[in-house]
Structure 1
Amino acid sequence: MARRTDGDSVRKAQAGGAARDDLQSVAVIAATPRDAALLVSAEVAGAEISVICVGEGGKEDRAVLDRALDGAVRRGCRAVGSPVFLRGEGGDSREALVRELRELRPSWVRLTDPDPERVTYDPETGIPVHDEPPRLAAAALDALAAARTHQLESGVPVFVDCRRAAADEKLGAASASRYPRTANWLTEGFDGRLSAFLPSAAGVVRWFQPEAGRPEWQGPELLPGPRLMPGLSVVRDLHGFVHLLALRRTARKDGGDDVEIVHAAQYGTGRPLTPWHSLGSPNPGDRYKSREVGFPAAGFDRAGNFFVFVRNFGHSVSYRRQAPDGVWTTPWQHLRGQRVADDLVAVTTPQGEVELLARTRESGAVVRWYRSGPDGDWTEDRNVPFSPRPGSMAAGPEPGTVLFRDLLTNEPGIWWPGAPAPVPLGGSEGEGPLGGAPGVEVDGWAYTLLVRGGPGGMGVVGAYAEGRPDQGVWWNEAGASSPLTAAALRARTGMVTLASLTAGAQLAIAHRESRTGGFEFGSWYTA
C-alpha cells in the first residue's frame, strides 16, 4: 500500500496542525487521483479530508489531486496525511479499504456514482453506453461495501454521499448527489413521540424519544435491513405511521446486480420496522436497466392511497399504488410525457389529492402530473413557472406547496398549483433542499416555519404568515451548522423542534422556547 509524502507537509502547515472538533471527518474514495480530485474540489470549509485511491494513476493525475487538496486547505479544510494508493498491495481492494477506514474512522464518505447514467443505449447488445470509465462505478461499489462493513464492525454511523461526475460543479455538492438528500426526516408518531431517520452506509439509522415532550432521546440505532443504497424517503400516513422508501441492491446469479425499490413502515415509535418489502422495478429482469432507476418519491391521498413514483430507465415516470387496506393494486404503470431527471417530489393538495412534480431532463424546467379526482386519469402540465437547482426541490410544509432553489440565483422559492409565479423567499446562501413546519402559533397568529442551509452550512430559520409567503420571510441563524439541511417539526402539543446533524455526525436538538411566543430557540444539545 503506497502513501505519498510530497506536498503533505505544506498542507499540514496550512491546516494548522491537529484536528479540530468542528471539522467533518471525510474520507474521499475514488478509482484514481484525478477522480478523487473532483470530489475534493467540491468540499467546502469545515472538512477534514483523507483520500484513498484504488489506483495510483500517473504523475499528472497525482499532481491534479495535490492541487485540489491545496485548494481545499485554502478554503478552510484540513488535509489529513497523504493520499493512500491501494493498487500494488495485492489482495481484495474491499479488504484494503476496510483496513483504511478502521484507521481513519470517518463519519462521512464521498464517492463517485455507483450507477451512472448512460449517454446512449445499444439495442443490439442490450448494453447501455457510458462516457465514464467502468472503474468509477466499480470503485464506488467496493467503497460502499467497505463502509458498510466498517459501520457494522464499529457500531458508529457512516454517512455516504455519491456524486455524479458529470454534474455542474458551480451548483454545489448537493446538486451533484446521486441520491437526493433526505428532507423532512424528523417525524411525529401517533403517540406524540418524535423519530429521526437518516440513511447510512449500513442502512437506516434512527433516533427516537422514549417519552413524548421530554429532552431524552435514544439512538442512533441501525435498523435491520438489506443492502440499501445511501438514500431515503420518509413519508407519514394519515394515522401517524412512518413509511420509508429506499433502493436495494441484490446480486444476480448470472453476474452483476439488480436495483429495486423497497418499502418498510414503523407502526410504533421505537418499535421494529416491518420487513422491507420489494416493490420491484419498472425495468425488471435486466441487469443494466434496473441499475439506472431513479430515487422514489411518495405520498398519501385523503383516502389513504399510497402512491410511489420513480424515474425509470427511459427517463419517464412510473408509479405504483397501495390501497388503504395495504394491498398493492397495480404493477408499475407508466406516465407518458416529458423525460425527467431524478428530482421527483410528491405533494398532497389541500383537496387531498397526490400530485407529482419532476425536473425535466433536458431543459431543467418542471413538469407536473395531477388527476381530476380519485378515479381520474393522470394529466401532464408543462406550464410550471420555475426552474429549480438540481437536488433542491422538496414538498413544502403547507399542503400542495413545493420548495426549491432557483436554478440561476440559488434563492429559495415556493410555488403551488394555480399560482402564476413562484414566490421568492430571500436568502441565496447555502445549498440543498428546504424544510419546514406549518401551524406555528405566535401571539394568536399562525405562521409557517422554514429551515434551510446557510453560509458554511449554518442552519437558518425563517417564518411567514401562514398562507402568505408573499408578505416576506424573516430569516435568522439557528445557531448550529450541519452538513445536512436541518429538519423542523411542530408537534400536536404545539412544541416546535429543530433537528440537525453535527460535523461529528451526532443528532442535535433544539426546542422553541415558547409554544405561543416568538421564534427564539433554546440551546442545542446532542441526543
Structure 2
Amino acid sequence: MMATTGRRTGAPRGGRSREAGTADSGRSQVLIVAPSPAEAALLMAEAGGAVSVAALCLTGGDAEGRSAFARAAAEAGHQGARADDEASILPSGADAASAVLAEIRALGPGRVLTTGADQGPGDPDGSHEAAALAVFRAVEAYHRETGRPVFVDCRTPGPHSPAGSGAGPRYRLPSNWLVRGNDGRLSAYLPTAGAVLRWTEGAGGGWSGPELLDAPGLLPGLTVAQGPDGYVRLVGLRRTERGDGTVATEIVCATQYQTGRPLTPWHELGNPHRAEPERGRFVGLPVAAFDDDGTLHVFVRNDEHTVNTRHQRDDGVWSPWRHLRGTKTADEMVAMRAPDGTAELFVRLRDISGVARWSRTAKNTWAEDPSPENVHAYPGTLAAAPEVGALRCTYAGTGELCQWQWGAYGPAALHGPDVAARVAGVTGIDLDGWLCTVLASTDRRGCCLVGFHVEGRHDAGVWWTATDQWCLVPPAVAPDRHGRVTVVTLDASARLTATRRAEDERGLVLEPWSQAGPRS
C-alpha cells in the first residue's frame, strides 16, 4: 500500500512537523479545526477512540487558551491517543479552506471535528462559522479529488452531556439510520459535508461502501424516514453561497427507491424565511415522519425558535409552509407516528425544562398538547421509541433511561445501565418464541449497549448486554431479511462495524463485530 506523505500546515507557534502514515493508519486520525486553541481544547474531548489527533487553528488565541489545549492534549495522551501539545496555527492571511485541504491530504483522517456554521448569537465574531466553512469546502474538494469519504462532526459549546462532554452536536445525526428495503437488504445512511455516506448489505450478508452520494452544500446532519411504501426519504439542510455574497439555506429531500440504486435528485423544499435569507440561515435541522396514508410531514425550527411545517401528499404535491405558534423550542425535535396513524411532533422546550407535542386535529390543523411537560429530557437524548406513540430519553433529574407512552402522566424508568446517548430500537423480534423489543445505545465509555424486553412490557425490566465495541456515532438497529437483529455503528476510524444475533443461541447473543470492506 502506498504511503502518502506531506508536511503539517504550521506556523511559528504550531506543533511538530509530522508525516502522514499509511492510508490505514490515517483512517484512525482525527483532525480538529477550530477558531483558536481554546475551542480546540473543547473539541479534543470529542476525539475519543482515535489513535492520533491533530489540531489546526485559525488564530493563536491567548495564553490561557493555549494552556487549556496543552492540558487537553495531555489528557488525550493518557487515553492512548497521540496528540501534539500545541495546535498548528494558520499563518496570517492564509486561505483557511486551502490549508485544511492540505492537512486532510497529508493526514488522511477518518473524521474532522469542527465548530458549527450559522449559530447566530452563539458566534458573535463569526469565528466558529469561519472554521466550519473552511472544513466544508476542504472536505467537498477532497471528496471530488479522491472519492474517499471523510466524516465531519460539527460541535457547539453547550451543557455537559451524560457522557461528560461540554460540546453538543450542531447538526443531529439520524437516530434510525439503518433501514431494510423492499428487497430485504439493509442500508445505512450518515451525512457528511456535501454528501451522504451509504453502506449497502449484499445478497450474502456482507457490506459494501461507503458510497459517496454527492449533495453539494449539504450540511452534516440528516433525517432518514421510511414510508409505508418502503421507500426511504433523506431530508437535510443545504447551504449555498450566492454570487452576491448572500447565503441561501434550504431544506432539501431525496428519495431512495431501490436498495443500492442511485438517489433521486435533491428536491428543494425552501425555507420558512425564504423572503429573509439572513434569518433563514439560522433554522434548525429538519425532521420528518409519515402518516399511515403515505403523507410525508417535514418540520423545522425557525429563527424565532418556534416550528414550521409542510407536507407532501402521496400524489407528490407539497403544501405551503405553515407556522405552528407556541412555546419556544430547542434544537431537538422528534417526528413520529401517533397511535391513530397520523404524524406527530415532539420538541424539547428551550426556556423551561419539559417537552411539548403537536398533533393533528379532526379539522386537519395542528394543536399543541402540554401533556408531555413532565418528560424532562436531558439534552441530546430525545428519541422516538419503536412502539407507536412512545418516546425515550435520559431523565434530566436522575440520569435514568426512561420511556413515556402516549397518554401517560410521566415517564417510566427502564432501570438500565448508565446510557449516554439516544436509544435506538426495533420491535417484533422473535427471541425464543417471545416477541421482544431490542434496544441499542452507548454507555459512558462510548461502548455499545444492547438490551431487550418483552414487547409492551418495558416496565417488567430490560436485559442489557455491554460490549467492548467503541462507537463513533450512536448505534442503529434493524432486523435483516431473516428477522435477525442487526446492530451497526462506526468505529474509531469511521468504518461501518456490524454484528447480528448469533444463530442457534438462546436469548440475545451477538456474533463478533466485523467491519465493512475497506474504504476506497
TM-score, length-normalised on structure 1?
Answer: 0.89
**Alignment of 1:514 onto 2:517:** no
**Alignment of 1:337 onto 2:329:** no
The separation in 2 between residues aligned to 1:513 and 1:157, in whole angstroms, is 31
The separation in 2 between residues aligned to 1:22 and 1:449, in whole angstroms, is 35
**Alignment of 1:33 onto 2:37:** yes
**Alignment of 1:322 onto 2:325:** no
The separation in 1 between residues aligned to 2:510 and 2:470, in whole angstroms, is 15
Q: Residue in 1 aligned with 2:428?
A: 439
The separation in 1 between residues aligned to 2:219 and 2:327, in whole angstroms, is 27
Q: Residue in 1 aligned with 2:366?
A: 378
Read off the aligned partner of 2:185 and give its amino acid letter: R
**Alignment of 1:266 onto 2:294:** no
Which of the residues 143, 153, 156 maps onto 2:135?
A: 143
Whether the 8 Å CA contact 1:409–1:428 is kept in 2: the answer is no
Read off the aligned partner of 2:242 and give its amino acid letter: R
SS in 2 for 1:176: strand
Distance verdict in 2 for CA 1:209–1:164, change over 3 Å: same
Whether the 8 Å CA contact 1:22–1:503 is kept in 2: the answer is no
* 20-29 or 220-229, which deviates more: 20-29
Which of the residues 464, 469, 482 maps onto 2:471?
A: 482
Q: Residue in 2 aligned with 1:409?
A: 398
Q: Quote how far apart the aligned CAs of 1:77 are.
A: 3.6
Distance verdict in 2 for CA 1:516–1:274, change over 3 Å: farther
- The 5 Å alignment of 1:191-340 reads 191-211=183-203, 214-328=204-318, 330-340=319-329
Whether the 8 Å CA contact 1:444–1:516 is kept in 2: the answer is no
1:242-291 deviation line (CA, Å, top 9, x unaligned): 11001001113431312111000001001110100010001113232111
Whether the 8 Å CA contact 2:35–2:128 is kept in 1: the answer is yes
Whether the 8 Å CA contact 1:356–1:368 is kept in 2: the answer is yes
1:363-404 deviation line (CA, Å, top 9, x unaligned): 13100011234x432121123121112121121111121221
**Alignment of 1:450 onto 2:439:** yes
Distance verdict in 2 for CA 1:284–1:34, change over 3 Å: same
Q: Quote how far apart the aligned CAs of 1:495 are.
A: 2.0
**Alignment of 1:159 onto 2:165:** no
SS in 1 for 2:228: coil
Q: Residue in 1 aligned with 2:113?
A: 110
Distance verdict in 2 for CA 1:46–1:251, change over 3 Å: closer
* 516-525 or 215-224, which deviates more: 516-525
Q: Quote how far apart the aligned CAs of 1:173 are.
A: 4.3
- State the identity as a percent: 39
Read off the aligned partner of 1:179 and give its amino acid letter: Y
1:432-455 deviation line (CA, Å, top 9, x unaligned): 211011011122211000000113
The separation in 2 between residues aligned to 1:142 and 1:107, in whole angstroms, is 17
SS in 2 for 1:215: coil
The separation in 2 between residues aligned to 1:23 and 1:253, in whole angstroms, is 36
SS in 2 for 1:455: coil
Q: Quote how far apart the aligned CAs of 1:170 are.
A: 7.3
SS in 2 for 1:320: strand
Aligned residues: 504
SS in 1 for 2:277: coil
Whether the 8 Å CA contact 1:23–1:47 is kept in 2: the answer is no
Read off the aligned partner of 2:145 and give its amino acid letter: E
Whether the 8 Å CA contact 1:193–1:269 is kept in 2: the answer is yes
The separation in 1 between residues aligned to 2:249 and 2:407, in whole angstroms, is 37
Q: Quote how far apart the aligned CAs of 1:74 are.
A: 3.2
Whether the 8 Å CA contact 2:56–2:88 is kept in 1: the answer is yes
Read off the aligned partner of 1:110 and give its amino acid letter: L
Distance verdict in 2 for CA 1:515–1:377, change over 3 Å: farther
Distance verdict in 2 for CA 1:418–1:219, change over 3 Å: same
Distance verdict in 2 for CA 1:422–1:166, change over 3 Å: closer
Read off the aligned partner of 1:336 and give its amino acid letter: R
Distance verdict in 2 for CA 1:75–1:138, change over 3 Å: same
The separation in 2 between residues aligned to 1:393 and 1:321, in whole angstroms, is 23
SS in 2 for 1:278: strand
1:56-98 deviation line (CA, Å, top 9, x unaligned): 233443223222222333344431574211123x442211111
Q: Residue in 2 aligned with 1:53?
A: 57
SS in 1 for 2:445: helix
The separation in 2 between residues aligned to 1:506 and 1:235, in whole angstroms, is 23
- Unaligned stretches of 5+ in structure 2? 1-8
The separation in 2 between residues aligned to 1:439 and 1:175, in whole angstroms, is 36
1:475-504 deviation line (CA, Å, top 9, x unaligned): 102442211111110235322211121111
Whether the 8 Å CA contact 1:157–1:201 is kept in 2: the answer is no
SS in 1 for 2:157: coil
SS in 2 for 1:144: helix
Q: Quote how far apart the aligned CAs of 1:174 are.
A: 8.8
Q: Residue in 2 aligned with 1:125?
A: none
Whether the 8 Å CA contact 1:318–1:334 is kept in 2: the answer is yes
The separation in 1 between residues aligned to 2:27 and 2:262, in whole angstroms, is 33
**Alignment of 1:363 onto 2:352:** yes
Distance verdict in 2 for CA 1:515–1:419, change over 3 Å: farther
Read off the aligned partner of 1:38 and give its amino acid letter: L
Whether the 8 Å CA contact 1:50–1:81 is kept in 2: the answer is no
Q: Quote how far apart the aligned CAs of 1:306 are.
A: 0.7
Whether the 8 Å CA contact 2:185–2:481 is kept in 1: the answer is no
The separation in 2 between residues aligned to 1:223 and 1:19, in whole angstroms, is 22
Distance verdict in 2 for CA 1:431–1:478, change over 3 Å: same
SS in 2 for 1:260: strand
**Alignment of 1:2 onto 2:6:** no
Q: Quote how far apart the aligned CAs of 1:428 are.
A: 4.9
The separation in 1 between residues aligned to 2:349 and 2:264, in whole angstroms, is 34
- Unaligned stretches of 5+ in structure 1? 13-17, 119-129
